[in-house]
Amino acid sequence: MAGTPGLLLLLLCAVGPVSPFSTHWKPTWPAYRLPVVLPQSTFNLAEPEFGAEAKLEVSSSCGPQCHKGAPLPTYEEVKQYLSYETLYANGSRTETQVGIYVLRSGQGESPGKSRRKRQIYGYDSRFSIFGKDFLLNYPFSTSVKLSTGCTGTLVAEKHVLTAAHCIHDGKTYVKGTQKLRVGFLKPKFKDGGRGANNSSSAMPEKMKFQWIRVKRTHVPKGWIKGNANDIGMDYDYALLELKKPHKRKFMKIGVSPPAKQLPGGRIHFSGYDNDRPGNLVYRFCDVKDETYDLLYQQCDAQPGASGSGVYVRMWKRQQQKWERKIIGIFSGHQWVDMNGSPQDFNVAVRITPLKYAQICYWIKGNYLDCREG
List CB contacts of 163: < 8 A, sequence separation 6 or more: 58, 150, 236, 237, 238, 306, 307, 329, 330, 331, 332, 349
- The average pLDDT across 40-52 equals 93
How far are the Cα atoms of 70, 349, 362 from residue 37, in angstroms, in the given order? 24, 19, 10
* Best CA proximity match to 155, nearest among 92, 65, 246, 231: 246
Catalytic residues: 165, 230, 306
How far are the Cα atoms of 13, 214, 235 from residue 9, in angstroms, in the given order? 7, 36, 18
Residue 339's pLDDT is 66
Residue 184, pLDDT above cutoff 90:
yes
Which of 24 and 154 is assigned the larger pLDDT? 154
How far from each other are the two terminal CA atoms of the chain, in whole angstroms?
Answer: 25
Q: How confident is the model at residue 125 (pLDDT cuts 50, 70, 90)?
A: low
Neighbours of 367 (CB within 10 A): 19
Domain assignments of the chain as residue spans, ordered by start: 35-101+130-188+205-364
Residue 117's pLDDT is 43
Task: Identify whether the C-beta of residue 151 lies closer than 8 Å to the C-beta of residue 280.
Answer: no
Lowest mean per-residue pLDDT among 99-113, 183-197, 212-226, 350-364: 99-113
Q: Tell me the pLDDT tens digit for each residue of 63-121.
A: 777 778 888 888 999 999 999 999 999 999 999 999 999 876 544 443 333 334 445 44
What DSSP string runs through 342-371? EEEEEEEEE--HHHHHHHHHHHHS-GGG-S
Residue 134, pLDDT above cutoff 80:
no
Q: Which CATH architecture has domain 35-101+130-188+205-364?
A: Beta Barrel (2.40)
Half-sphere exposure of 68 (CA within 13 A, CB side): 8
Record the pTM: 0.84
**Segment holding 78, helix H or strand E:** helix 75-82
Residue 180's pLDDT is 96
SS3 assignment, position 313: strand
Residue 270's pLDDT is 92
Rounded distance between C-alpha atoms, residue 227 and residue 58, angstroms: 10
Residue 175, pLDDT above cutoff 80:
yes
SS3 assignment, position 222: helix
Q: How confident is the model at residue 14 (pLDDT cuts 50, 70, 90)?
A: very low
- The average pLDDT across 341-365 equals 90
Rounded distance between C-alpha atoms, residue 261 and residue 334, angstroms: 24
User: How far is CA 169 from its chain centroid?
Assistant: 16
